[in-house]
Amino acid sequence: MRKPDEIALYSALRRHGPALGTGVVAQEVEWSGMPEKRATGLLQKWVGRGWWAFGVSPWAGWFTDAAPEELKT
């Protein structure tokens, strides 16, 4: 079962489309009021599932083709 904050962050980032520029994740996390540590944990979880990829930092990553269009509870 996914928590509402994970679903909200995922949805917010998906709305940006495939071109997530640097700072988009930070901006969405800030707007949501989610702690940075929680957001980093979620990004790492998505990396482990093959949904999120990144170069230097998970905060500057992008969704992979394996990522679902949306998350559900």
* Chain-centre distance for alpha carbon 7: 9
- Closest to 29 (Cα-Cα) out of 46, 45, 18, 42: 42
Query: Which CATH number does the domain housing residue 52 bear?
Result: 1.10.10
Position 14 pLDDT exceeds 90: yes
13: containing domain: 4-63
Overall domain count for the chain: 1
CA dist 43 and 38 (Å) reads 9
What number is the average pLDDT over the span 26-47? 95
Question: 40: which DSSP letter?
Answer: H
Asked if the structure places residue 69 within a domain, the reply is no
For the full predicted model, state whether its pTM sits above 0.85. Answer: yes
What number is the average pLDDT over the span 19-41? 91
5 and 34 Cβ atoms separated by less than 8 Å = yes
